[in-house]
Amino acid sequence: MKYALFTLMLCLIASTAHAQTGRWITASGNLEIEIAPCGQALCGTAVRVLANNSMSAPGTAMARNVPGLGLTILKDFTTSGDGTWTGQIYDRENGKTYRCRMRQLSTDELEIHPYVGIPLFGQTQIWLRAPGATETSAMTK
């Protein structure tokens, strides 16, 4: 019985992780991020640089041109068991790392909520699935 319950829990965790995996376009439209397993967690790496837009001053370019390709933007995301994942997000515009919550809203929308201290002190972003991208099956391998 314990083995069956443990197996069921692993399947549930794997199925929720499967939904977040794949390629996503950041809210700023700057980067295409590939979310995939990294050990027991999920991580997101910039696989394509699309623009150099400022998040703090919409409509203008970032003050400094920071390379994005290959950067780990999302790190150490683990499930909270309710479809929410928590980890860290790197802001390449200011070079800081923040705590972050992530949850999938639909097949093509991912809610990203970076914050300082507690989630109340944060701002929600919606990332969209990259055109032509589908969910990857990395969690089932």
- Could you give all domains of the chain from N- to C-terminal order, each with its CATH number? 2-140 (2.40.128)
At 101-138, the pLDDT tens digits run: 999 999 999 999 999 988 889 999 999 999 976 655 33
CB 108 within 8 A of CB 91: no
Q: Report the alpha-carbon distance of residue 141 to residue 80 in Å, rounded.
A: 22
Residue 81's pLDDT is 84
Q: Is the pTM of this model over 0.85?
A: no
Residue 137's pLDDT is 37
Residue 56, burial from CB neighbour count under 10 angstroms (0-12, 13-18, 19+): exposed
For residue 141, pLDDT beyond 90: no
Confidence of residue 57 (pLDDT cuts 50, 70, 90): low
Residue 58's pLDDT is 64
CB 31 within 8 A of CB 117: no
